Every structure is written in C-alpha cells, then in structure tokens.
C-alpha cells in the first residue's frame, strides 16, 4: 500500500511558484532570513523539505535528446533534440535557487536554540545532498560554473565568475560525503521519501562515473550494495518486470530516491503524455536503433549477424523481454485497442502520420502504460512515483567501473548479470567462447555493459543523453540518420477500393527516415545562459557558442 506521509512536504513548489502551503503563505522563501523564522526545529525541517521540489519529474522527454527516441507530439520537441544549442534557450537560475536555499539553511540553523544535534544533522545532511545534487547538474550541463556557498548580497552578485569544473566537482563530492555522514540509512515511515544515506552514496557513484573516476564510483556503489537495504524488483524472475513501472511497485526495495505522487491528491500525466495509444497520441516514439539494441533471448546481439534466432520479418519474436515492456508495436492490443501503425487510413488514429501527434517511427512507448489505469477516463491522471535512482543503476555503475579498473573482473560480471537474470537473460561470461554471451576482452564487456545501460533504462530519465556524452559517442550516434520501422506498401490482392488499393507489409522494405539531430564536439556542455551573461559581463561563454 502506498505511503502518503511526505506528500505535504514535497508538494511545496520551489522559490516563487504558487503553493497552497501555509508555510509558504506565511513565510515567502526570499524572506526566510528575517527575525520571524529560524526559531524552532520545525522551521529548519520545513525549510529543508522545500528542497525536494528540485527532484526530477518530467525528464522522460530527455530521451529525445539521444538516439533512443523522437517526439511524436511534434510541437513539444525541444531545440536540443534538433541539435540547436541557443544560449538564449538555457537557464541555471532554478539550480541556484535551490543552492541558495541550502546555503541559507547552513547559515541559519545554528540560531535555533535547543536543537538536538542528531536531528540537526539530519536536516544538514539533506541540505548537503541537494546542494551537491544541483552542482552536479550544473557542471555536467555547463562545465565551469560559479560556485556559491553563502547567501549573496547585491555587491557579491556583481563579482561572480565561473569556477573551474574540477574545483566545483571536488566541493560537490565533499557535500555528498557530508550527506552520507549525516543521513540515516532509513527514515521512519512517517518520513518516507526523504533522502537517505543510500541515495547520497548512489548519487556520489553516479557523479564519479560520469567523469571516469572509476575507483570512487565503484567504492560508492559497493557501499550501497553492502548496505543490504536494496534489491532488484522481482530479482528471481517470476515474470513481473513490467510491474516495476506500474503504480503497484511504488515503495519497492529497488527504488532508492523517488518523487512521490498519490492520485488524486497529487497526480501527473505520464501515461497521457508519453503515449495515449487509444487515441494514437504519439508521445515518445522509440527509434529503430533502440529497438535493435535489445538482444535475442540467447543473448546474441541482433545487429551483427550472429543471432540464430532473429527474424527480420518477425522482429519482436525471441527477444529480450524488456523490448516488449518498452516498445508498443503493430498488432499489440492494449486498453481494448489493437494498435495499427501502417501509414494508411485503415490504421485509424494509431497509424504513422495519421495526424500531427501520431507516431513518427511506427512505434510507441509502453514502459508506463499501467493496465490498471483506464486511459479513457484516467489516462491523464497517474499516481505512479517518479524514480530518480533505482538499484539497477547502482549495479551497472559498479559493473562498468570495476571492468575499467580490472578488465573482466568477476565482480563486474556478477553485477551486470544480476540485472540480466531478473528478466531471464543469459549471463555474460568469459569461459565459453561458443556462446553469444562470451566476452573475450575488456572492450567486449565494456560494450555489453553499455548496451545494458541502454536497454535497462530505455525511455527512462534521459540517462542515454548523458551516457553518449560521457562515453564520447554522441557525435557518432546523433549525426547518424535516425530511422523508424521498415514497411512497404503493395497492391491489395482483392482489389478493394481502400487506401488507394494498397496494403502494408510490415518489417520489409525501407525504414522510415527521420530528421534526427546534430552534435559537435563543443556540445559536450551546453552554452552558458545568455540571460546570465547579460546580467553579469564577468561570466564567459563556453567555446563554440
């Protein structure tokens, strides 16, 4: 049963947006430093609770910024997905608003009298986590950024310059270490949803992995694994993997950090936005490249000619079960509607190009299509928690880092194979060269782990857009042509006067050609927001912009 305790805390909207919270109505956040606040422990706890609005909710759209997907809702595709990096289109003010709030907590918390140190440390731990969280997002996005560890006066703001990314990274990691020190392994049920020691460790591992600090990433991930707090959902492979993305899995032991929802009290529109299949609403449309990334059930990649099971004319048969969990394709029945994706009138609203919001690739996203939700009545409402970090990420982080430290390390195989085994995929190994799962070299295992990142987190949280950057392959995959489903139109054998006498043969012929994206080396980081440079000429622009 879903816990409902933290919703009051996380419903607060950060810094200047509307809120029904009495706390914000009485104390606007830009006035929290005055004499009317910071009197009791509750004041500090309410202030730190406000930081939870920084956690992600709608970042599923970020997969269109990679080679995984395009946006079927054409008007919603952002500039980055098109390869446009306009300095006027970026902002970091939201990041620094969170950082300012955390800095205010650090400055004011000691003014509160009779505050038990253990309780104070829990507040400080959360503030350190969120400051580190925001600085990682900033350096990953912009490289060198201003580092601010105090609330600023107007004079201070006029003298802000960008600090080297390495310097900010070191201070960010120090914040995460403080968070790990102060945060509990688990909160009482009444505080479910707050950041834990495991979340801080997992996030530290994520940050270290991004910059290739393998030892740090492996150690932080191993700390999470050794806690014994988390495990994969349906780790024994009883066929329930799809449920991981339905509301019934909320509060499971795989989820390390979540943004909570509770329909109808707090809802979001994930089903309706990502794919409304009964109406042919496009949402996030998987590319052929993503579909082809899923191996056959024997563990053979299907795009190197070595699979004995793959049939291009029946491409969804004998594949990694995660393919069907992620991709809705022609012939599937869902919510009482059989999906037809042929570009013909007889396909109805679900066909390619039948209307402006129909699928662009011949595929729809399926990951969050909870069968317990009726999209005819509730499709725009969903109480599914949004998961920012889950345990599968920790295992893949450990596997990748250990293979880089010690090629073909047995512990790397064990970690990645835990993720594979829970969906019934055969284990990667380096003992039997006759099997398609054989990894003879460090790079063999590296590429298989990278593919595991892609298929395990497909269409989820935008991980792919950052992975292709840190692996140095963004230029290769984003500048290559994007493609969709293969099909051909042939004359109708019965001569019916329908769709210009044509019928569609699926998975034969030429693929759908898509515009795709573009990427240059300097796009590894975004441009510094032009609005910030206009306000402060001491801020420099990133090269290439």
Residue-by-residue DSSP string for 413-426: HHHHHHHHHTTTPP
Return the number of other C-beta atoms located less than 10 Å from residue 206's C-beta.
22
**Alpha carbon distance 469, 467 (integer Å):** 5
**Alpha carbon distance 319, 14 (integer Å):** 44
Three-class secondary structure of residue 512 per DSSP:
strand
For residue 256, give every residue at least 6 positions away whose Cβ sits within 8 Å of its Cβ, in sequence order, or none: 196, 198, 199, 202, 224, 230, 388, 389, 390, 391, 393, 394
Q: What are the structure tokens assigned to 32, written together?
A: 């929290």
Three-class secondary structure of residue 281 per DSSP:
strand
Beta bridge mates, 258:
387
Instruction: Look at residue 33 in the predicted model and tell me its pLDDT.
Output: 53
pLDDT values of the chain reduced to their tens digit, one per residue, 545 residues:
454 433 333 333 333 332 323 322 333 444 455 567 999 999 999 999 999 999 988 666 789 999 999 998 888 899 999 999 999 999 999 999 999 999 999 999 999 999 999 999 999 999 999 999 999 999 999 999 999 999 988 777 778 999 999 999 999 999 999 999 999 999 998 898 999 999 999 999 999 999 999 999 999 999 999 999 999 999 999 999 999 999 999 999 999 999 988 877 887 777 667 777 677 877 889 999 999 999 999 999 999 888 999 999 999 999 999 999 999 999 998 888 888 999 998 888 889 988 888 899 999 999 988 888 876 666 567 788 999 999 999 999 999 999 999 999 999 999 999 999 999 999 999 999 999 999 999 999 999 999 999 999 999 878 999 999 999 999 999 999 999 999 999 998 877 766 778 899 999 999 999 988 999 999 999 999 999 999 999 999 999 99
**Alpha carbon distance 60, 460 (integer Å):** 5
Three-class secondary structure of residue 345 per DSSP:
helix
Phi, psi of 282 (to 5 degrees): -65, -50
**Alpha carbon distance 513, 327 (integer Å):** 19
**Alpha carbon distance 509, 184 (integer Å):** 57
Spatial contact of 497 and 345, defined as CB atoms under 8 Å apart:
no
**Alpha carbon distance 480, 515 (integer Å):** 10
Ordered by start, the domain boundaries in the chain are 7-65+87-239, 270-384
Q: What are the structure tokens assigned to 435, written together?
A: 């099997």
**Alpha carbon distance 365, 280 (integer Å):** 11
Instruction: Look at residue 75 in the predicted model and tell me its pLDDT.
Output: 86
Instruction: Give the count of alpha carbons within 13 A of 192, CB side only.
Output: 16
Three-class secondary structure of residue 436 per DSSP:
coil
**Alpha carbon distance 90, 530 (integer Å):** 8
Instruction: Look at residue 485 in the predicted model and tell me its pLDDT.
Output: 97
Beta bridge mates, 438:
429
Spatial contact of 339 and 328, defined as CB atoms under 8 Å apart:
yes
Return the number of other C-beta atoms located less than 10 Å from residue 387's C-beta.
21
Phi, psi of 473 (to 5 degrees): -115, 5
Q: What 8-state DSSP symbol labels residue 271?
A: H
Say if domain 7-65+87-239 classifies as CATH 3.90.1520.10: no
- Type and span of the H or E element at 484: strand 482-491
Instruction: Look at residue 60 in the predicted model and tell me its pLDDT.
Output: 66
Could you give the C-alpha distances from 294 to 319, 320, 423, 518, in angstroms and in order?
7, 6, 12, 24
Instruction: Look at residue 58 in the predicted model and tell me its pLDDT.
Output: 66
Is this model's pTM higher than 0.75 or not? yes
What angle do helix axes 117-142 and 41-49 make, rounded to 10 degrees?
A: 20
- List the one residue out of 121, 130, 135 whose CA is nearest residue 102: 130
């Amino acid at each position: 049963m879903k816990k409902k305790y933290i919703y009051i805390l996380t419903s607060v909207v950060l810094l200047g947006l509307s809120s029904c919270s009495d706390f914000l109505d009485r104390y606007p956040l830009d006035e929290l430093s005055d004499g009317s606040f910071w009197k009791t422990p509750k004041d500090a706890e309410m202030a730190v609770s406000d930081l939870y609005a920084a956690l992600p909710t709608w970042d599923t759209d970020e997969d269109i910024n990679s080679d995984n997907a395009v946006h079927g809702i054409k008007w919603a595709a952002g500039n980055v997905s098109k390869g446009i990096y306009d300095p006027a289109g970026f902002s970091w003010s939201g990041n620094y608003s969170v950082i300012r709030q955390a800095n205010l907590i650090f400055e004011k918390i000691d003014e509160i009298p009779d505050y038990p140190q253990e309780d104070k440390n829990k507040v400080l731990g959360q503030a350190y986590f969120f400051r580190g969280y925001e600085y990682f997002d900033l350096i990953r996005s912009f490289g060198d950024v201003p580092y601010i560890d105090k609330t600023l006066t107007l004079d201070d703001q006029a003298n802000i310059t960008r600090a080297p990314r390495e310097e900010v990274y070191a201070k960010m990691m120090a914040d995460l270490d403080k968070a790990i020190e102060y945060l509990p392994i688990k909160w009482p049920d009444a505080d479910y949803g707050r950041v834990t020691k495991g979340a801080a460790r997992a996030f530290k591992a994520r940050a270290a992995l991004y910059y290739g600090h393998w030892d740090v990433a492996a150690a932080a991930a191993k700390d999470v694994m050794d806690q014994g707090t988390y495990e994969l959902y349906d780790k024994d492979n009883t066929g329930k993997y799809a449920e991981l993305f339905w509301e019934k899995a909320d509060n499971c032991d795989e989820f390390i950090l979540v943004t909570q929802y509770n329909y109808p009290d707090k809802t979001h529109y994930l089903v309706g936005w990502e794919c409304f299949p009964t109406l042919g609403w496009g949402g996030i449309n998987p590319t052929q490249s993503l579909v082809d990334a899923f191996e056959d059930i024997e563990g053979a990649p299907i795009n190197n000619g070595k699979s004995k099971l793959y049939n291009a004319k029946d491409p969804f048969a004998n594949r990694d079960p995660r393919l069907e969990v992620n991709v809705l394709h022609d012939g599937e029945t869902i919510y009482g509607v059989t999906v037809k994706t042929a570009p013909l009138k007889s396909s109805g609203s679900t066909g390619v190009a039948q209307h402006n919001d129909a699928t662009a690739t011949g595929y729809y996203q399926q990951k969050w299509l909870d069968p317990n939700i009726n999209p005819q009545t509730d499709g725009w409402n969903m109480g599914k928690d949004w998961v920012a970090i889950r345990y599968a990420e920790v295992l893949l982080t450990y596997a990748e880092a250990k293979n880089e430290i010690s090629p073909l390390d047995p512990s790397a195989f064990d970690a990645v194979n835990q993720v594979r085994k829970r969906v019934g995929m055969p284990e990667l190994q380096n003992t039997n060269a006759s099997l398609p799962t054989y990894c003879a070299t460090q790079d063999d295992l590296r590429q298989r782990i990278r593919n595991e990142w892609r298929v395990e987190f497909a269409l989820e949280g935008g991980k792919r857009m950052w992975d292709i950057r840190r692996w140095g392959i963004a230029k290769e995959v984003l500048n290559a042509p994007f493609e969709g489903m293969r099909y051909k139109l042939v004359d109708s054998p019965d001569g019916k006067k329908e769709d210009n006498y044509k019928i569609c043969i699926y998975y034969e012929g030429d693929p759908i050609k898509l515009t795709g994206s573009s990427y240059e080396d300097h796009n590894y980081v975004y441009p510094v927001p032009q609005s910030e440079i206009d306000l402060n000429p001491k801020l420099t622009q990133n090269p290439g912009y």
